[in-house]
Amino acid sequence: MKTKLIMVEGLPGFGKSTTSRMIHAILSEHNIDSRLVMEGDTGHPADYEGTACLTEEEFGQLLEVASPFKEIWIERAVKKGSWNLLPGVNP
C-alpha cells in the first residue's frame, strides 16, 4: 500500500469511528504498521478542529481562572513548539 494517510469523513452518526477502527484492525491483522488517530486528538496529522491552541500567556490565564479544573487542563495539554494544545472531547 502506498497510501500514508487514510481519512474517513462523513455525517455525524454515520459510522466514521466504527469504520476507522475496522480499517485499523484489518491493517493490523495483515501486519501493516498503522496508527489510529481520532478526530480531536492532539496527535492528529491533519486536523486540529476542536483543539484549542494557546500561547504560554493564554494558557497561564486559563489556569488562573479555572482553579477547580487546573490539574485536568495541565494533564491534558500537549506542548507543540511554543503552543499549548488542548484537545476537544470525543463523544
7 vs 5: CA distance, rounded Å? 6
Residue 84 phi/psi, 5-degree rounding, is -110, 120
pLDDT bracket for residue 4 (50, 70, 90)? confident
Q: What are the pLDDT digits (tens) for 42-86?
A: 666 666 566 788 899 999 998 988 878 889 889 888 888 888 888
**In the predicted model, is pLDDT for residue 36 greater than 80?**
yes
CB-based burial, 33-53: b 16+ in 10 Å, e otherwise: eeeebebbbbebeeebeebbe
Q: What is the pTM of this model?
A: 0.50
53 vs 80: CA distance, rounded Å? 9
Could you tell me what percent of the chain has a pLDDT over 90?
30
Q: What is the mean pLDDT of residues 27-42?
A: 86
